[in-house]
Amino acid sequence: MGRKTMTANRLVPDPSMTDAEYYAQRAANPTKPQIGKVWVEERAETRIGALAFIRRKLGHHEKAAEWFKNAYEALYGGIAPAIDMSKVRVDTSIMAHDNGAVARLDRSEQLRALIVGTRNAPPLLSKDATDRIVACVVLGIPCNEIAAPGPSGKPSGHAVEREVGLLLEALDYVAELLGFKMRGAA
C-alpha cells in the first residue's frame, strides 16, 4: 500500500493505423521516426519487477533485469505474447518464421546456460543469485520480504540493504556476461 507506482512512457506501434496509412505517412515524412507509433504509459514494476523500487539501480541493472525476466518467461512458460496484427506480414508462406520467436528461443538458451548450465559447463550464476533475481524481478517480491527477519520478526535495515546489495551484485554479473556492462565499469 505504501508503494509509489512508478510509470514510464514509451512508443509502441499504433494499433488503429492500417498498413496503407502507415506507408502513406512514412512516404510523406521519411525523416520522422514516430510515424505509426503512439505514446503509452506503463508501470515500471511490470517490466522489471521489484527492482523498480530500488533507488541504487543503474541502467545496466534495468537492462539485465528486463532481459532476465523476458528470457525466464520464454524458458519457463510465461505469458504467451499475442500476435501483433499491426506488424506488416511480408511472407505468409508455410516456411516463413517469426524472428521474435527465434530471438526468444536464443534468449532462453542463454538463460539455461546461465542458471542451469550446459552438458559441458556448470551454471554461471549461483542458485542463491538466481533465486534472488527470480523473486525480485520475475515475481516482483520486494527485498524487504526476502531479507532474514530479526528478533522483532521484521528484517532490519541492514538485512534489507544486504539483500539489495546481493541483488544488484547478481544483476551486475548478468549484465557483464550479456555485454550490458563492461568489466571494471561502475
Tens of pLDDT along the chain (186 residues) come to: 455 566 667 677 777 777 778 788 888 887 877 777 777 776 666 667 777 777 788 888 888 888 888 888 877 765 455 555 566 666 555 545 555 666 666 677 778 888 888 788 888 888 999 999 988 888 888 888 888 888 888 888 888 889 889 999 999 999 988 888 765 555
Write the Ramachandran bin of 140: left for phi over 0, alpha for psi from -120 to 50, otherwise beta. left
pTM: 0.62
HSE-up (13 A, CA, CB side) for residue 76: 12
Name which of 81, 132, 77, 130 is nearest 108 in CA terms: 77
3-state secondary structure the chain: CCCCCCEEEEEEECCCCCHHHHHHHHHHCCCCCCCCEEEEEEEHHHHHHHHHHCCCCCHHHHHHHHHHHHHHHHHCCCCCCCCCCCCCCCCCCCCCCCHHHHHHHHHHHHHHHHHCCCCCCCCCCCHHHHHHHHHHHHCCCCHHHHCCCCCCCCCCHHHHHHHHHHHHHHHHHHHHHHCCCCCCCC
φ, ψ (nearest 5 deg) of residue 142: -70, 155
pLDDT tens-digit series, residues 53-79: 777 888 888 888 888 888 888 777 654
Q: How far apart are CA 5 and CA 41, in angstroms?
A: 12
